[in-house]
Amino acid sequence: MQKKIILYLFFVVYMLSSSYIHAQKTYYVKTVNEAAAPEFEKQGNYMEYIGTDTDEENLFSKYTIDEFYQAYPTSNRATLRNAFIMVTTSTEIVDDMLTTFPGIYTSITDITNDLPELSYTPHYPDDYITSSVRIPFDTTTYDRKDLEYIDAPKAWGITDTINKVITIGISDAKVDDQISELSGKVSYINPYAASEPVNCTNGYRTHGTGVSVIAAAKGDNNEGTTGVCYDCDITATSLNNYDYYNLLLLAQDGVKVINISWGNHSNMAPAAYIASNPNHADQQECINEIVEDYDVVVVAAAGNDTSFDSNGANLVYDYPASYDNVISVSGVNHWYTIDNYPNNEPIFNAPNGENYMRFIENSVARYVDVDLTDPNNPSNPVGVYSQYWLPNNTYMHTLNEKVDIVSPGYQIPSYKYLGYNCTMDTDTLYGGKYVSGTSLAAPIVTGTVALMFKVNECLLPDEVESILKLTTKDIEVLPMNAFAEGYIGAGKLETGNAVEFVHEMQKSDGNAVIKDHVFYRYEFDLEKFNHDVSIENVTFKDDVVVNFVANNSISLKEGTHLVPNANGSITLKADNTINDVCVPSSRQANASNIPEITKETIENTSLNIFPNPSSNFISLQLSNSSDLIVSVEIYTIQGNLLSVINNEKSKKTISVDINNWRSGIYISKVITKRNETFTGKIVKQ
């Protein structure tokens, strides 16, 4: 107990002193006129005064200034041209400037925390339809209330303008690349055998198509339905019965995330399962190689076998979902709430007095038992893991301690899916247009991961998993899910929040928000916040391990508690040198074409960018080298390719016109004649 208290006090004190750690401030500086403003030039990481006034030089030489630039350089109004932004860790400079030069500076205001509340405009594809109630036997549309439930439109509002194609790996039955929803999107590796055609009379032969549609069906084509990542491509391969070699081939082919909506069922927990067979150990090792060596995220369905009987938990597992380095996905309901349970849905009245409603939002059980004392106001839903008619085999998706997250898995559109034919001309409870299973829950998570990569392709698998978990809705705390405590993972997938979180991590003025959750396990290791992190009404306790590093600040807001035990730890740091910019590799050099480069040549070569910041033109120059610039690639701060400039005459210097760029930070990637690469930051005023 003493150790817990010491840890608790340590972290409280640590955070109370955080204001001294995060000293960088942003100030809004107003001068009497534009000409009176001091002149600075960037030297290394800091601004250096280059004006001619001796008193100003003496003042500014005492302080460190990170940035000083005009707030509205292209404005035609004098009052706006007199405004400047100053970023500094030397907060004493403000009083010094105001008292020493009262005739120059009319005001200097701290605007560090004056960030606007961001509101992303949702994007709704023209084939995205939702309805407040499920319409029985409607065969003309696919209701995607499942995507509304995870706020996919919010994510699309962020990714829709990003011109980047992420490739999803699908290991499954053969994917039909001729249907309109997938045509032009699918390629194959280790081709399927002739004995594995898509066959509408055999559910096993349509499974891969249904999974692919959920993950990446075309959007905005006014036809059928839409996938979570509707502009993603697919590389498909068949599942392996005994080994995972095709999964490795997908990773080696360059996919970013692999979906596995299949598995081997077992009553053995992972340690015993791996020890029982060398093949199982090699399967785990193959997964490790895919994730650790190729930085590929692996998502797998947790299974469709209940982990409960009339006596309570009787855990079962599916593999590869229950292996390490796999994001295991189970299912959650999304159709109705107790308050809007429709008249055309039955309430099942059991002889033992229980009353079952089905498909209730946020319930991990298919049925909940409700109190009907007041028939007009049913209340107190309790998850049913052992219903009256099937006490030891009540249908429920697999839940266990290896589940990482839950996603919509009950009554999902089953376009060309399983054994329910390819035309989907029925709409019944257990088949037709809507079906249930973690085979559908998994590709919803996979599509979400692909959207996250659209925003930042350089995320590592551990970072992806941490973000998915940190942005979930906490449904384990709900009374109707109390029976499954410890088996639901971090919570319910929130696609909109996950993609927004990645976006905010990348922005130079971003604010990544974690809120309304209790975390008592898992490791969260995120060290690349380009600006701020806000933690609100969150408890990190027990075995949780947290390591966050942000460029500017980490704010602990009301309702936040840090109480790890002896097995847990919490580290919150600020590091204003963080400038995480994703510059994905765009070419692979052929070794036979690369001239011999000496170590001395590489070490003595540098890239100069000047003037920087700039508002019109900028020059990039190789110094101390006989090498020449072949081309320059310009990326946004999120890592999206903006333009490619070819240096046809291959000189040491190239000029870039930035007049039409928006103000902000960009990344230049210079490729030389010797196939060397140099990167640098460009600041557009």
For the residues 170-191, what does the mean pLDDT come to? 88
Q: What are phi and psi of 576, to 5 degrees?
A: -75, 5
- Collect all residues with Cβ–Cβ distance below 8 Å to 89 and sequence separation of at least 6: 23, 24, 25, 64, 66, 576
Residue 677 has pLDDT above 50, yes or no: yes
Beta-carbon-side half-sphere exposure of residue 286 (alpha carbons within 13 Å): 21
Q: Cα 237 vs. chain centroid, distance in angstroms?
A: 25
Q: Cα 363 vs. chain centroid, distance in angstroms?
A: 24
- Distance between CA atoms of 444 and 148, rounded to whole angstroms? 12
Q: 292 and 220 in one domain? A: yes
Q: Is residue 403 part of a domain?
A: yes
Distances in Å between the alpha carbon of 55 and those of 96, 422, 661, 675? 12, 81, 36, 49
How confident is the model over 32-50, as pLDDT tens digits?
Answer: 999 999 999 999 889 999 9
| DSSP three-state, residue 3 | helix
- Distance between CA atoms of 553 and 19, rounded to whole angstroms? 8
Q: 678 and 648 in one domain? A: yes
pLDDT level of residue 536 (50, 70, 90 thresholds): very high
Q: Is residue 234 part of a domain?
A: yes
Q: Is residue 357 part of a domain?
A: no
Q: Cα 629 vs. chain centroid, distance in angstroms?
A: 35
Q: CATH number, domain at 418?
A: 3.40.50.200
Long-range Cβ pairs for the range 272-278 (8 Å, 24+): 273/317, 273/319, 273/322
Q: Is residue 415 part of a domain?
A: yes
Q: Is residue 70 part of a domain?
A: yes
Q: 458 and 548 in one domain? A: no
- Distance between CA atoms of 615 and 100, rounded to whole angstroms? 30
Q: Is it true that the peptide bond before 342 is cis, omega within 30 degrees of 0?
A: no
Q: Is residue 324 part of a domain?
A: yes
Q: Output 23 or 264, whichever has higher pLDDT.
A: 264
Boundary residue ending a domain (546, 574, 602): 574
For the residues 106-110, what does the mean pLDDT come to? 90
Q: 222 and 90 in one domain? A: no
Q: Is residue 496 part of a domain?
A: no
% of the chain with per-residue pLDDT over 70:
81
pLDDT level of residue 277 (50, 70, 90 thresholds): confident
| Type and span of the H or E element at 62 | none
Chain mean pLDDT for the chain: 82
Q: Is residue 192 part of a domain?
A: yes
- Spell out where 238-344 has E strands: 257-260, 264-266, 297-301, 308-309, 312-313, 317-319, 327-332
Give me the pLDDT at residue 302, please: 96
Boundary residue ending a domain (519, 548, 574): 574
Neighbouring C-beta atoms of residue 476, cutoff 10 Å: 22
What total of structural domains would you count in the chain? Answer: 4
Give me the pLDDT at residue 202, please: 64
Burial letters 638-669, b for 16+ CB under 10 A, else e:
bbbeeeebebeeeebebebebeebeeebbbbb
Look at residues 213, 236, 235 and name the one whose alpha carbon lies nearest to residue 223: 213
- Distance between CA atoms of 682 and 633, rounded to whole angstroms? 12
pLDDT level of residue 241 (50, 70, 90 thresholds): low
Q: CATH number, domain at 638?
A: 2.60.40.3080
Q: 226 and 250 in one domain? A: yes
How confident is the model over 287-316, as pLDDT tens digits?
Answer: 999 999 899 999 999 999 989 988 989 999
Q: Using an 8 Å Cβ cutoff, are 616 and 659 in contact?
A: yes
Task: Give all strands of the β-sheet with 523-529 in edge-to-edge order.
Answer: 523-529, 545-550, 569-574
- Distance between CA atoms of 474 and 520, rounded to whole angstroms? 12
Residue 369 has pLDDT above 70, yes or no: yes
- Distance between CA atoms of 420 and 204, rounded to whole angstroms? 11
| DSSP three-state, residue 10 | helix
Boundary residue ending a domain (93, 110, 127): 110
Residue 592 has pLDDT above 50, yes or no: no
Look at residues 196, 194, 195 and name the one whose alpha carbon lies nearest to residue 206: 196
Q: 537 and 473 in one domain? A: no
Give me the pLDDT at residue 204, please: 62
Region of poorest pLDDT, from 122-126, 209-213, 383-387, 390-394:
122-126
Q: Is it true that the peptide bond before 270 is cis, omega within 30 degrees of 0?
A: no
% of the chain with per-residue pLDDT over 90:
45
Q: 403 and 303 in one domain? A: yes
How confident is the model over 318-354, as pLDDT tens digits?
Answer: 999 999 999 999 999 998 888 888 877 888 889 998 9
Region of poorest pLDDT, from 101-115, 284-298, 345-359, 625-639:
625-639
Residue 681: strand pairing partners: 667
Q: 254 and 209 in one domain? A: yes
Task: Give all strands of the β-sheet with 83-88 in edge-to-edge order.
Answer: 65-70, 83-88, 25-31, 105-110
Q: 649 and 615 in one domain? A: yes
Distances in Å between the alpha carbon of 41 and those of 51, 166, 558, 586, 610? 10, 40, 41, 33, 10
- Distance between CA atoms of 305 and 397, rounded to whole angstroms? 6
Q: 628 and 558 in one domain? A: no
Phi-psi region of 184 (alpha: psi -120 to 50; beta: other; left: phi over 0): left
Q: Using an 8 Å Cβ cutoff, are 489 and 143 in contact?
A: no
- Distance between CA atoms of 562 and 580, rounded to whole angstroms? 27
Q: Using an 8 Å Cβ cutoff, are 370 and 338 in contact?
A: yes
Give me the pLDDT at residue 120, please: 44
Q: 213 and 293 in one domain? A: yes
Domain residue limits at 466: 145-336+398-484
Phi-psi region of 78 (alpha: psi -120 to 50; beta: other; left: phi over 0): alpha
Residue 76 has pLDDT above 90, yes or no: no
Nearest-5° Cα angle at 149, 500 to 302 = 90
Tell the residue number behind the tokens 């001068």, with chain if given: 31
Q: 252 and 331 in one domain? A: yes
